[in-house]
Amino acid sequence: MQLCFLLSGLLLLAPQTAQAVPSFARQTGMQCAGCHTAFPQLNSFGHQFKLRGYTLGNANAEAPFPANLPVSALLLVTRTSTESTSGVDAEMLPRDRQAIAQTAGVYYAGRINERTGAMVQYSYDGIERRWGVEMADLRFADSTEVAGGRELLFGVTLNNAPTLTDVWNSTPMWSFPHVDSAGVMPIASTMLDMQLNSQVGGITGYALFDNLVYAEAGIYRSAKSGVMRPLGLGVEKTHVVDGYAPYWRLALQRDFGAHSVSAGVLGLNARVLMDPNDPAMASDRFRDIAIDAQYQYVDGEHAFSSQVLYMQERQRLVASVAQGMATNEGNTLKTYRITAHYLYRHMLGGGLQIFSTRGSMDPMRYGMGPGMGSINGRPDTTGWIAEFDYFPVENVKLALRHTAYRKFNGGTVDYDGFGRNAKDNGNWFLMGWLMF
């Protein structure tokens, strides 16, 4: 009931004209549907807006102060209800069955000059109860003509997360369901799968040739200290990169009227300190590679998109083995996700995803304790997510989501050795997301 009142309040606060991130909307003079299908998923024009450094449009140039400032805000109110809390330490589910302000923050989002722009989010995490820089993407972009008049769009970005720079909805940062619940999470995921988000800083260069071939490459390093520290301000560093972590991305895309398709490959190599608080400790190595594809149809009242993502990680855990924290020096971890999303009249829609993670058996690495442990030492987790979305106006998103697990941390029944079953970690998630 408490969350119902909060969501009603969001509707009363919401303006009755549709907008994207409002500072972007003021800049371009466009509504949300100009760049998005269902926020935050981008459409083809949204790809161009981001790749051109957030610089398109200057509709707010003559606006009075403070309407001309590229500043916006967000409020995300949620409630997570886990199927069962039996056998789980209360510290693992500190906000279960509570209505919380999961995220509240501000954006600097917009054009700086004709070739540079930024999207930076500084926000409060209502689960961790801390303020920090969640997203930072500062861009320089330009274009020229090559090969008989074909456009070469190129740029450089300073950012704080691998795949944050991506424009497709199939890579980890921008893939469905976009907002995590406050429930029990599986024991394992790849480094590329948002494990380094907000904990690193990096510089990548990118190019898009003839609106067809996209390439990006760069390096990341820890944002715990040094010149990259502002990009990780306020964020707990659970993964500290030892040295530099190369990142790369290749993709092909093509638009056919209302249809668009893309397919690509991306990768990350990282050495991560076994103890994030002790730089003298040795590091483990992680080599990730992923392939992704997307199909999107946007025409009038209908917007449909589907994505496929497959990630494989090879782990060299020499440091962890030496400290008794892993059984195997070499492990693998494989994840796939298949997603479909539909939106009608920019108002009603929903998404469905099937997911699976499988990996090497490693009793020391995965055999932890109640709730988060694996009695058989495997990280295998499979399940599905279904979500219903309602946009009363385009910058207010209300959603109801159900997550169900068929397998969790290697098992279906008593997966942790303390009597907890995979289905116990399923949850219902209610969300109100307001941009203003």
Report pLDDT digits (tens) over 347-384.
999 999 999 999 999 999 998 788 889 999 999 999 99
Element (H, E) at 303: strand 302-316
pLDDT for residue 434 is more than 70: yes
Least confident window among 3-12, 118-127, 215-224:
3-12
The mean per-residue pLDDT over the stretch 6-28 comes to 54
Q: What one-character DSSP code corresponds to residue 408?
A: B
Give pLDDT, residue 9. 40
The one-letter amino acid at 374: S
pLDDT for residue 149 is more than 60: yes
How many domains are contained in the chain? 1
Give pLDDT, residue 3. 46
Percent of the chain with pLDDT over 70: 95
The mean per-residue pLDDT over the stretch 93-105 comes to 91
Distance CA 347, CA 361 (A): 45
pLDDT for residue 15 is more than 50: no
pLDDT for residue 19 is more than 50: no
- Cβ distance 319 to 311 under 8 Å? no
Q: Give the chain's radius of gyration (CA, Å).
A: 22
pLDDT for residue 255 is more than 70: yes
Element (H, E) at 4: helix 2-13
Give pLDDT, residue 64. 77
pLDDT for residue 2 is more than 50: no
Give pLDDT, residue 62. 74
pLDDT for residue 13 is more than 50: no
* CATH assignment of the domain containing 8: 2.40.160.10
The mean per-residue pLDDT over the stretch 83-106 comes to 88
Give pLDDT, residue 177. 93
The two beta strands, 330-344 and 302-316, are antiparallel
Q: Can you tell me which residue has the tokens 């995965």?
A: 366
pLDDT for residue 17 is more than 50: no
Percent of the chain with pLDDT over 90: 76
Give pLDDT, residue 37. 87
**More confident: 158 or 33:** 158
Give pLDDT, residue 20. 58
The mean per-residue pLDDT over the stretch 382-394 comes to 95
pLDDT for residue 336 is more than 50: yes
Cα angle 352, 358, 363 (rounded to 5 degrees) comes to 140
- Cβ distance 289 to 264 under 8 Å? no
Cα angle 409, 413, 416 (rounded to 5 degrees) comes to 45
Distance CA 183, CA 80 (A): 7
The first and second tokens of residue 353, run together, are 């995803």
Give pLDDT, residue 39. 81
The mean per-residue pLDDT over the stretch 301-310 comes to 96
pLDDT tens column, 310-323 = 999 999 999 999 99
- Cβ distance 299 to 345 under 8 Å? no
Alpha helices in 330-411 (DSSP H): 363-366
Q: Which residues pair with 291 in a beta bridge?
A: 265, 310
Least confident window among 2-6, 141-145, 215-219:
2-6
Cis peptide before 370 (omega within 30 of 0): no
pLDDT tens column, 20-77 = 578 888 888 888 788 888 888 999 999 999 999 999 998 887 777 677 789 999 999 9
Average pLDDT, the chain: 91
The first and second tokens of residue 267, run together, are 């990768």
Query: For the whole model, what pTM was predicted?
Result: 0.92
Beta strand segments in 83-212, E: 99-113, 116-125, 130-146, 150-159, 200-209
Give pLDDT, residue 108. 94
Query: Domain range spanning residue 110?
Result: 2-435
Give pLDDT, residue 69. 84
Distance of CA 78 to the CA centre of its chain: 17
Least confident window among 197-201, 246-250, 392-396:
392-396
pLDDT for residue 6 is more than 50: no
pLDDT for residue 306 is more than 90: yes
- Cβ distance 249 to 266 under 8 Å? yes
- CA 96 → CA 2, 28, 166, 254, 327, distances in Å? 14, 40, 32, 43, 34
Closest CA to 258 of 292, 308, 302, 293: 302
The first and second tokens of residue 405, run together, are 């697990």
The mean per-residue pLDDT over the stretch 195-221 comes to 97
